[in-house]
A and B are shown apart, each in its own frame.
Chain A
Amino acid sequence: MNVVILGCGRSGATLAVQLSSRGHNVALVERNPESLRRLGRKYPCKIVIGDGLDEDVLIKAGIESADAFMAVTRGDNTNLMAAQIVQRKFKVPKVAVKVADPMRAEAYRKLGLFCINASALIAGMCRDWLTDEPFQPIDEYNTLVKELEDI
């Protein structure tokens, strides 16, 4: 699969390494060259330094022939905007967005974006681990907790 990853933070770097080692064709877009240290000494994939909201940068990363796009920077809004550019303009079939704010994640999930909320995943998994429950499918964790719903 051709995959473009936006953001070389901990999630992005780990994902790039994992997908590359499984033989996928990965391109990683990152604004700050210093963040590339997370990839180790030998880069596992193609690197494009630049702004992920800039279409020319995305094209350089191969977005036009990408099968999937993962926006995993630490900026929720950057991820959400990049994902929508990629989905609407470049028609990439699989798009995932990391969104740290659970309510923003829920709002965009309603608009049809696949938003991953790390705190919901971690909280849910910790809960089940603590109470010796079996782990559940991702959608069970990746939703807004009822108690937070009432905004």
Chain B
Amino acid sequence: MQLAKRLIARGHEVLLLEKDGRQAQRLSNVLGDEYVMHGDGCELHTQKAAGFNRADVVVAVTGEDEDNLVACQLAKETWQVERVLARVNDPSHEEVFREIGIDHTVSATGIIFNLLEQQLQGDDLVAVGALHRGKLEVVETMLSHRSKLVSKKVSEIGWPEGTYVFYLLRDGQGNPVEGQTELQAGDTVLALIPTERAEDLRAVLTSSH
């Protein structure tokens, strides 16, 4: 509903489909009748009535992956909707969504898991983003108190070839890294590396325990 609200506010033509009658009624009370339709978004006659044939985008965000998959697949195959977006609740389902051509998926579980992973694991390498068609990678790591990099100066460490350590987060403050910077436990270090060096960098981080 929050998604619909924002899209309406931006002036898009929005229709929200809801299978549950009482929920649909509640939604129309909040959003207005013209924005809500009661019906099963996986049924072709509902899709027709909702105007799937002239939709620019179909977004399926129920809590059931099978419903999101079928709604998007029918939108693409039967109504030729060009852009479909599905919520994937179980991250292991992302592959089948991709295989059948639903390229855009969002996974709350996946996002939360990645965030947790970044928070919980020390000394592991987390990919922040890829650059230059995946040839370069921006990575970050949080140093645990066990790390042997702690109390070393950045220039003293044997980084893999091509590694550019450029930024440091400490106590919520970010600063550019210099050769003289001494690393501490709890520091988050950001680096730019050639993608094929990621394993070497991981080895530097973990073998130093």
Residues of A with Cβ closer than 8 Å to B? 53-55, 75-78, 80-82, 84-85, 88-89, 101, 103-104, 107, 110-111, 151
User: Which of B66, B95, B100 is A77 in contact with, Cβ under 8 Å?
Assistant: B66
Does A77 contact B43, Cβ atoms closer than 8 Å? Answer: no
For chain B, the bracket of interface size reads: 20 to 34
Query: What are the residues of chain A within 8 A of B93 when measuring CB–CB?
Result: 53
Query: What are the residues of chain B within 8 A of A78 when measuring CB–CB?
Result: 66
Q: How far is the CA of A109 from the CA of B111 in the complex (A)?
A: 35
Q: Is the interface of A mostly helix, strand, loop or mixed?
A: helix
Q: How far is the CA of A111 from the CA of B76 in the complex (A)?
A: 12
User: Which of A53, A104, A107 is B65 in contact with, Cβ under 8 Å?
Assistant: A53
Q: Which residue of A lies closest to B42 (CB)?
A: A77
The contact sample of 28 A-B pairs, CB cut-off 8 A, is A53-B65, A53-B66, A53-B90, A54-B90, A54-B92, A55-B92, A75-B66, A76-B70, A78-B66, A80-B66, A81-B66, A81-B70, A84-B69, A84-B96, A84-B99, A84-B100, A88-B96, A88-B99, A89-B95, A103-B43, A103-B45, A104-B43, A107-B74, A107-B77, A107-B78, A111-B73, A151-B44, A151-B48
Residues of B with Cβ closer than 8 Å to A? 42-45, 48, 64-67, 69-70, 73-74, 77-78, 90, 92-93, 95-96, 99-100
- Knowing A53-B65, A107-B78, A111-B77, the reply to whether A80 touches B70 (Cβ < 8 A) is yes
**Given A77-B64, A103-B45, 19 other A-B contacts at CB below 8 A?**
A53-B65, A53-B66, A54-B90, A55-B92, A77-B42, A78-B66, A80-B69, A81-B69, A84-B100, A88-B96, A88-B100, A89-B96, A103-B43, A104-B43, A104-B44, A104-B70, A107-B77, A110-B77, A151-B44
